[in-house]
Structure 1
């Protein structure tokens, strides 16, 4: 049954498709960008319907995932997917769809932001939650910064200046969450015995979380300077945004080393796994964030890097999609039920 096998992080496919569509649109590749936009919208609608059905019909399965430290933060992909698609279709002349998706994401973000950690902290356990921390926890940051970005976009419209304050607040919450989670995740990497299965693609969200924080920050720094909260925080937001951009770049070689250690040194066979979309999304987000911040801060090198990375993200999306289709065909041939995209 499809809804039984649908994991919390299914919307990572929508996130990846939507942000790569945005990256390609920024560099002027209209046709592939439009194709990916259509795919992301269709996937958002289908997965949304399946998720509602799952909550209604398989509530026990949903609650079980919410109690699983390795999967619970996947629910934040719903928040991020709504806002990534909303940002892609945004137009100042017709903001209705973006507003609707953003409004829908707010209660989901509140539910996930308080429900998921509270459930993990307060539920009786025989083993520490920290032993199950992985890169998927950074989806908490991704979901928060997606909401910060869309709020800042609305704040730029005349008459919506009051939205600048919550946009900056959400950005700040996302930054502090990132610092907290980066500490916890890095400590786990340094204290838990290294096994190939530990270094899964979810660790790329480590970089993806910095990238979307940079995008949110670059959206805030271009707000009108006469808005009080912008005037009070502009230098902090701009400075931290650049530092986080640099830190995200620094992480890329280490993430590549993780992959080589897993697949070359330990010879783990490379095959399709749903976590591949956790690699595609950071690449697309890094492209969009670099371009936007480069333009906002007048740093041409960042714009060039973002434009180059748009092609890399497009190729990565295509490779992951081909692998997903091939894996799906293989499962059908062998009669294996498999799992849905996550």
Structure 2
């Protein structure tokens, strides 16, 4: 058995990352989606390339741990951050679907479904009380499936995929409520970054709702219900965003932590959800706030990416 976590330098630093690092892919991919929606295609493609690189590196590490350190893999698979593997794959697949690479997006959806079926039951079996914000990843991962399925359904003109997206959307809402019951509210004041997933789960739920509203397979009264649901979820997300931002100002936590990627993702997802709901629900005045939120997310992404780079540099040089 190889102990990759004890390897020196950059390899050891990378191998020692927790599953929470998967949020780096989620954050980078959703920023790419937002830049695409606002017409900044070159920046979007650059972010997509970086997100794909992150995903490939994390996938390789995932497989290495599965083969060479099964005990660690099983221990980490029981925790909510393991579900970043599902969410990251879905968000990346959504960006590829928007790029027109539907075959790759379908393959990523299939992979995400397999991961979800393997990881979600294990995570739910090991739920506890007073959990950090990562508990909401059960919702995020499930809504990720809804978003990618809802994106692909009109592109492929497949009715059952739209229905599957609707089912995942509804299940995701149930899981959000179940997670909220177990969420430790004190982490709003003291969390290292993943407390923002409480809002990110609402944001991706609103985005999933917007995909369903736009799906031509879902019409009539169901369409009206979904439109209302998307608007309500977005409203709740924006309120949560303001609450979490106020807590950050009141109790600053400026030191880099890998869980800060779980701050960037909800910020980017809120921006994308706002832009998507604006279009799907025909509320054009939301586009302005959505663009502002996107650039805030880009700025925070750059700050966290810099923090990660410095952390890696310290690992390479051996400095504390």
TM-score by length of 1: 0.84
Rounded Cα–Cα distance in structure 2 between residues aligned with 1:102 and 1:65: 22
| Partner in structure 2 of residue 82 of structure 1 | 89
1:52-90: per-residue Cα shift (whole Å, max 9, x none)? Answer: 0111111111222344xxxx1011111111111111111
| Partner in structure 1 of residue 197 of structure 2 | 205
1:286-323: per-residue Cα shift (whole Å, max 9, x none)? Answer: 11111111011111121211112121111111111112
Rounded Cα–Cα distance in structure 2 between residues aligned with 1:299 and 1:55: 46
| Partner in structure 1 of residue 148 of structure 2 | 150
Q: 1:259 aligns with which of 224, 229, 248?
A: 248
Rounded Cα–Cα distance in structure 2 between residues aligned with 1:93 and 1:184: 39
Moved more, 273-282 or 175-184: 175-184
- The two structures, once aligned, show a CA RMSD in angstroms of 2.1
| Partner in structure 1 of residue 47 of structure 2 | 36
Whether 2:170 is the aligned partner of 1:172: answer: yes
Rounded Cα–Cα distance in structure 2 between residues aligned with 1:43 and 1:102: 18
Q: 2:214 aligns with which of 218, 222, 226?
A: 222
CA shift, 1:196, in A, is: 9.0
Structure 1 portions without partners, runs of 5+: 122-128, 337-342
Contact 1:109 1:143 in 2 (8 A): yes
Rounded Cα–Cα distance in structure 2 between residues aligned with 1:174 and 1:65: 22
Rounded Cα–Cα distance in structure 1 between residues aligned with 2:272 and 2:111: 24
CA shift, 1:210, in A, is: 0.7
Helix, strand or coil at the partner of 1:271: coil
| Partner in structure 2 of residue 182 of structure 1 | 180
Contact 2:20 2:258 in 1 (8 A): no
Contact 2:132 2:187 in 1 (8 A): no
Moved more, 214-223 or 302-311: 302-311
Rounded Cα–Cα distance in structure 2 between residues aligned with 1:6 and 1:200: 15
Rounded Cα–Cα distance in structure 2 between residues aligned with 1:223 and 1:34: 25
Whether 2:256 is the aligned partner of 1:272: answer: yes
Rounded Cα–Cα distance in structure 1 between residues aligned with 2:204 and 2:98: 20
Whether 2:270 is the aligned partner of 1:286: answer: yes
| Partner in structure 2 of residue 126 of structure 1 | none
Contact 1:17 1:37 in 2 (8 A): yes
CA shift, 1:117, in A, is: 1.0
| Partner in structure 2 of residue 7 of structure 1 | 18
Contact 2:153 2:215 in 1 (8 A): yes
CA shift, 1:34, in A, is: 1.5
TM-score by length of 2: 0.90
Contact 2:192 2:257 in 1 (8 A): no
Rounded Cα–Cα distance in structure 1 between residues aligned with 2:276 and 2:71: 42
Check 1:136–1:195 CA distance in 2 against 1; reply closer, same or farther (3 A cut).
Answer: closer
Q: How many residues align?
A: 309
